[in-house]
Structure 1
Amino acid sequence: MKQSSAAAAESAFPAFDRERQNGMLTAASAESAVLRHDSDNSGGAAEGAFSAFDRQCMKRAFSLARRGEGRTSPNPLVGAVVARDGRILGEGWHRSYGGKHAEREALDAVLAAGLSPAGSDLYCTLEPCCFTGHGKHQPPCTELIVGSGVRRVLIANRDPHPAVNGEGVRALQAAGIAVQSGLFAEKGEELNEAFFAFQRRGRPFVQLKIAQTLDGKIAALNGNARWITDESAREEVHRLRGRSDAVLVGRGTVLADDPELTVRLAKGRNPVRAVLDSRLSLPDSAKLLSLPDKEKTLIVCAADADAERMQRLRDRGVTVLPVAAPPDSSGSPAGLPLAPVLAALSERGIRSVLVEGGRGIFSSFLKEGLWDKLSVFIAPRIMGDGIPAVSGFAAETVQKAIRLGAVSTRRIGDQLLFEGFHVYRDH
């Protein structure tokens, strides 16, 4: 791989005295100055350890990172800023999967402006990568940073990828670069919630989206659900789709609503449209099967589903993904076990899944604990008798009910959006 050594990276920048030029720390002093990140990736340096300018630069890096939403997966979102003496010299972000990393973008921007990054500070939303390997398109950022003459690196979070996970910090330290971490660590967790979830739990980040009335109904008894929420809430859902790798629904939702599951009311690319349909019983007239980007429609079925039907769907350009369903999977939606479904989606590079229904799907994900974030749009309507959002399981006591953490609420149009996260015992 090109520029895979420190020498190659250093050749792109002017020569400098690594120990003293512009007040750079020596390796020994940098080692003692490092503020180490907590093992749970949630902290590091105390907030008081950072200046107002540090905060300004990191906020800018986060803003830049967001520009890559929907285009970098399975890589994380990353933004970077290079600054010196209270002035931003260059900035960049990871624009798309396979493209240049944020650190290189920012350092290249400094050079393009006719400046030198020697003696500067690099603000990065995630720990710089430090490895090469199969499927990795870019050289290690740590080598580039070491060769650039950067004096100090500030990061929000360590990269939980097993090939990094603190090794990037240690590589920079060893080269005499001071490293501080934990600046807006919580924002970093939110920014890359899907990437972190996959690295920690080995499955895609699962977000459940429910639109319901004040009394918890998602549809009338006859199945009518259009529209519980207003257009402002539907626009927000389309933004969620644009940020997700895949949208997942059950066969019943397709039969009831005949949705397209595309991004039309907001900016963003269409996600993969995954439908759980164990017996491949969707009608040929379903909109999902006739969209221009048919390859993004993915039907998850049982491994023993009708082979001829599988082939007919594939001939139409639709992706069919058979999953082995054990005999005891009758309680799962569409007769498919959720863990193997998520594993199969993960193998296709999907790192985030937005689950949009219906009731059986929501209930199964909640019951099996295979979810990370719950987003409930609560509309100012009272249905009375109707189809509840969840069913099929019951907590024995209030204390044993599913409880969410890090909850938040905000108003969207006439709706209240309630969001919270799964509280895992291991995190």
Structure 2
Amino acid sequence: MSDADRRFMALALGLAARGLGNVWPNPAVGCVIVNEGRIVGRGWTQPGGRPHAERRALDMAGAAARGATAYVTLEPCSHHGKTPPCSEGLIAAGVARVVSAQEDPDPRVSGRGHAMLRAAGLAVDVGLMEAEARALQAGFLSRITRGRPWLALKLATSFDGRIALANSESQWITSAPARARVHALRARFDAVLVGGGTARADDPLLTVRSFTPLRQPVRVVASAGLDLPRDRLAGSVSEAPLWLVHGPDAGAEARAFWAGIGAELIEVPLAGQGLNVAALSVALGARGLTRVFCEGGGQFAAALMRAGLVDELIGFTAGVALGADARPALGPLGLAHLPDAPRFTLASVETLGGNVLHRWRR
């Protein structure tokens, strides 16, 4: 494929990224329609998952879609859901060629969209910038193929990996620009997840507040006994969805209170002294979440790490040292041998307000 093909697909990927955090349970897809070297239509999946990217681009292109090439970041859908299949829309519009970054593993599609296009006489090329498309769609692909969302663990720490002093004082270890970036990251994920310990210590809102997002992320709190503060978290249910994951022994009064104010209760089994985090992850995937942004705390993060559920580490590191008596970012992992330690590959690094932001992938 040509340099022009790659350039238009890169544009489609950029458009697709605009949907991250806004479109679950659907994938965030981008589409660019080009006729004789001129862009005549472009679109990305809209908040809530509809309209799809192809439909938006076709509506913009109108009659200019006839004989054009459509660049899409994921195989066009082929099944009838709440909207007609995008493959049918491309065919009806007279598009001559479709360049698709990757096949959709969703069993309802899984090659059928490409086959429908070819059967109608369209030229179909698959695989352009597939690695980039897969990285962008990591959450959707994880939910479809593994039954659970992609999970990123954020750790904001001192240089020596501490998140608070021994007396729990933690405001603020990182800089204001770093904290603003955290809000921007929250907006690109479907949900923000914390453990019950963090909720009890901070009673956090977990909303995006540095700006007004298109869609507030779901707030998920994991607390086996539902013994949670009933102030800010309870008083903000109207601002953003609140899901509480609890164990089978959570009290009836606590269940009634949280359900009564509009929180969604999700029961999962226990594992040892806490919740079964693997079951928690599957439960979130079953409810459509594709990308989850975990903000701790240390014991809960360690449980996720021990279970192999952390796909990405996002670290904000400040140039301050707190010492061994301060609280560590991670609880015990129970490692006996260094080769058993979870390892991640550095994906990116940047300086931000005097801090270092580094991202790692499993």
User: TM class, shorter-chain normalised?
Assistant: over 0.9
The answer to whether the Cα contact below 8 Å between 2:148 and 2:286 also exists between their aligned partners in 1 is no
**Residue 358 of structure 1: how far off its partner (Å):** 0.5
Say how many residue pairs are matched: 360
**Residue 292 of structure 1: how far off its partner (Å):** 5.1
3-state SS of the aligned residue for 2:106? coil
The answer to whether the Cα contact below 8 Å between 1:242 and 1:267 also exists between their aligned partners in 2 is no
**Cα distance 1:186–1:410, how it changes in 2: closer, same or farther (>3 A)?**
farther
1:146-295 mapped onto 2 (5 Å cutoff) = 146-268=91-213, 269-285=215-231, 287-291=232-236, 293=238
* Equivalent residue number for residue 415 of structure 1: 355
1:391 paired with 2:331, answer yes
CA distance in 2, matches of 1:282, 1:391: 21
The answer to whether the Cα contact below 8 Å between 2:41 and 2:57 also exists between their aligned partners in 1 is yes
**Residue 162 of structure 1: how far off its partner (Å):** 1.7
1:26-425 mapped onto 2 (5 Å cutoff) = 50-111=1-62, 115-132=63-80, 136-268=81-213, 269-285=215-231, 287-291=232-236, 293=238, 296-325=241-270, 328-330=271-273, 335-385=274-324, 386-405=326-345, 407-422=347-362
Identity level (%): 39
CA distance in 1, matches of 2:92, 2:229: 59
The answer to whether the Cα contact below 8 Å between 2:45 and 2:52 also exists between their aligned partners in 1 is yes
**Cα distance 1:414–1:292, how it changes in 2: closer, same or farther (>3 A)?**
same
The answer to whether the Cα contact below 8 Å between 1:98 and 1:137 also exists between their aligned partners in 2 is no
**Residue 99 of structure 1: how far off its partner (Å):** 2.0
**Residue 294 of structure 1: how far off its partner (Å):** 6.2
The TM-score, its normalising length taken from structure 1, stands at 0.80
1:15-26 mapped onto 2 (5 Å cutoff) = none
The answer to whether the Cα contact below 8 Å between 1:248 and 1:273 also exists between their aligned partners in 2 is yes
User: Where do 4+ consecutive residues of structure 1 move more than 6 Å?
Assistant: none
**Residue 248 of structure 1: how far off its partner (Å):** 1.1
Partner amino acid for 1:122? Answer: A
**Residue 206 of structure 1: how far off its partner (Å):** 0.9
CA distance in 1, matches of 2:187, 2:129: 25
CA distance in 1, matches of 2:257, 2:59: 50
The answer to whether the Cα contact below 8 Å between 2:219 and 2:240 also exists between their aligned partners in 1 is no
CA distance in 2, matches of 1:294, 1:310: 20
**Residue 186 of structure 1: how far off its partner (Å):** 2.3
CA distance in 1, matches of 2:154, 2:184: 12
Q: Structure 2: 5+ residue runs without aligned partners?
A: none
The answer to whether the Cα contact below 8 Å between 1:221 and 1:387 also exists between their aligned partners in 2 is yes
3-state SS of the aligned residue for 1:126? coil
The answer to whether the Cα contact below 8 Å between 1:98 and 1:138 also exists between their aligned partners in 2 is no
- Which is higher, the Rg of structure 1 or of structure 2? 1
**Cα distance 1:73–1:220, how it changes in 2: closer, same or farther (>3 A)?**
same
Partner amino acid for 2:306? Answer: K
The answer to whether the Cα contact below 8 Å between 1:300 and 1:322 also exists between their aligned partners in 2 is yes
**Residue 55 of structure 1: how far off its partner (Å):** 2.3
3-state SS of the aligned residue for 1:209? strand
The TM-score, its normalising length taken from structure 2, stands at 0.93
